[in-house]
Structure 1
């Protein structure tokens, strides 16, 4: 059986667990372990942890994970930023690399953010999962995907409205447009992929101030015709 669990999604912290055949991998860990334990998280069946980039809401729990013996995979840029290049439990996984972690095969690909960032194409049995967050664009097109885990942080309409209302400053407005997936870009990305095997879409990293969960869910459901959920 294949299962996806979310332990938090957004600027306050991101953490997801994928389980297949009683083995798990974790994608990002933006919480301390004690906080995750209170949400029902366990490390007992975790075979590896994938870290997309070095922003705190995606890697805050890395030190705890390593202290408890978890094997953590990240790009060399992220290892350098977190000063973990010489930790033997911290393994290098750069864009273009593929690694086998228990029941999971993971390929990393580069994303466009304001620091080095990678996404993941993950295969487990007949399940094919794409994970993309903190990127305003993805240049890759995927086939045979069954589960999309994709950021939709804002829409151009919502940030324009916030800018004119004075609730969003120009610097953050520009950063959002060049560092996080908008609804418009996410829809174009989904249209460019093969959706013939798609079973579900998980919307990640919704902006508290500039996201519209109901609208984003509706638009993705209308395009894909599959189950869509918004992770918080």
Structure 2
């Protein structure tokens, strides 16, 4: 069964990622307002009615800013680690579901597995979301690559992958030293080079899509990041997830040789075509 993915927003101003099939979907993080989440999903032809849960990677505001309103309005379970749940504000406790590293959660046919990552938060996690043999990774806010990240990255058909900063732009930029140190200090963010090294050395041959995510407004350039990856992409489609607007909806359908996939419009029931 095809899996559909989209970035609703990606950056320090808010993060929210959609992964689903024709029956059910999940959101990873809820860092933009409920109203903005609804508007962007509607523009993409995606319905909140098939969103069954929200998974939270960590407690920083750009990942949970819209969480309480969204969860309460749609009565969505919020899967969150013990270390993170105490920082999630007004989310009703009856909606908070336990999340443990390497313990999978099943939402319909979607199987979501969390695993630890290096980031300066209480108990941060990355996610791999599988539907049958199709696997999607959400790998952002990572200070350094590790065995957990490598293990999951090289199993994925598509990934949201952090490429936060260009090393030279960060070094020469206006940020104070303490902030530069935090970003590149091993528990901050992945640089273009670190992300590219992971991509070159551990990308499986069947990875069809990479959405470069969480780019810094001040210390990176979307065109620069995309060009770096495009040189090594081969048959993998590389795009940049914007900090201002939603991405396209990408259809991840391993084994399909069709260049265009039919994407159900989950709001009207009509069909539209999008490039895969």
Q: TM-score, normalised by structure 1?
A: 0.91
For the 8 Å contact 2:67–2:91, the answer to whether it is kept is: no
Aligned to 1:210: 219
CA positional deviation for 1:72: 1.0
CA RMSD of superposed structures (Å): 1.8
1:12 correspondence with 2:10: no
CA change 1:204–1:27 in 2 (3 A) is: same
CA change 1:208–1:48 in 2 (3 A) is: same
Aligned to 1:110: 116
Question: Hey, what's the Cα distance between the residues in 2 that align with 1:101 and 1:182?
Answer: 33
Equivalent residues, number: 228
1:125 correspondence with 2:123: no
Aligned to 2:56: 51
CA positional deviation for 1:95: 1.9
**Unpaired runs of at least 5, structure 2:** 243-276
Aligned to 1:177: 184
Question: Hey, what's the Cα distance between the residues in 2 that align with 1:28 and 1:209?
Answer: 23
CA positional deviation for 1:137: 1.2
Question: Hey, what's the Cα distance between the residues in 1 that align with 2:203 and 2:9?
Answer: 28
CA change 1:78–1:84 in 2 (3 A) is: farther
CA positional deviation for 1:22: 2.7
Match of 1:151 among 147, 162, 167: 162
Q: Write out the 4+ residue segments of structure 1 that deviate beyond 3 Å after TM superposition.
A: 83-86
Between stretches 6-15 and 31-40, larger displacement belongs to 31-40
CA positional deviation for 1:89: 1.5
Match of 1:64 among 48, 64, 69: 69
